[in-house]
Amino acid sequence: MIKLFFDSEDALWGMIVGALVLGLAGSLPGNIKIPFNKEILIGALVLYVPIILMDIGHEIHDLSRHPFFILLSILHSLVDLAIVVGFFALFFNFNLPYISEFVVPLLKNASTLIYVGYFFLVGNFIWLVLYPFVM
């Protein structure tokens, strides 16, 4: 197994990243403000990249589950990774083919940023709930 502590850590970390993205968009419930939100988000994203890569490796290594869930999990992790790389391209102002062209403009728009935050938050919550049933 290729995980740090437990099998669903990537889903928990994705939910944390989602909450930080919503904080960056200024749309946390109750108008909660997170001090140094951008810097905390960058640190969370740096830690999230290896967790995503370990999750993809874990899915490929452990083929005991239904192929649909394995494929869906890998696809979800790849979308997570593309969004995270898009955030790095946005924050550090570097140009990557396809990411800078398609993902970064979405991350510059505040309303789209809310959808990205909810994608992380709700999508990973669904995986957290489904995990005991698909194992």
pLDDT digits (tens, 9 = 90+) for 15-44: 999 999 998 888 777 677 777 788 999 999
Other beta carbons less than 10 A from residue 97's beta carbon? 7
pLDDT in tens, 64-75: 777 888 899 899
Instruction: Count how many domains the chain has.
Output: 1
pTM of the predicted model as reported, rounded to 2 decimal places? 0.88
Q: Identify whether 93 is part of a domain.
A: yes
Q: Is the pLDDT of residue 125 over 50?
A: yes
SS3 letters across the chain: CCCCCCCCHHHHHHHHHHHHHHHHHCCCHHHCCCCCHHHHHHHHHHHHHHHHHHHHHHHHHCCCCCHHHHHHHHHHHHHHHHHHHHHHHHHHCCCCCCHHHHHHHHHHCHHHHHHHHHHHHHHHHHHHHHHHHHC
**Does 4 fall in a domain?**
no
* Residue 1: inside a domain: no
Residue 47 counted as domain residue: yes
Structural domain containing residue 87: 9-134
Q: Would 121 be classed as within a structural domain?
A: yes
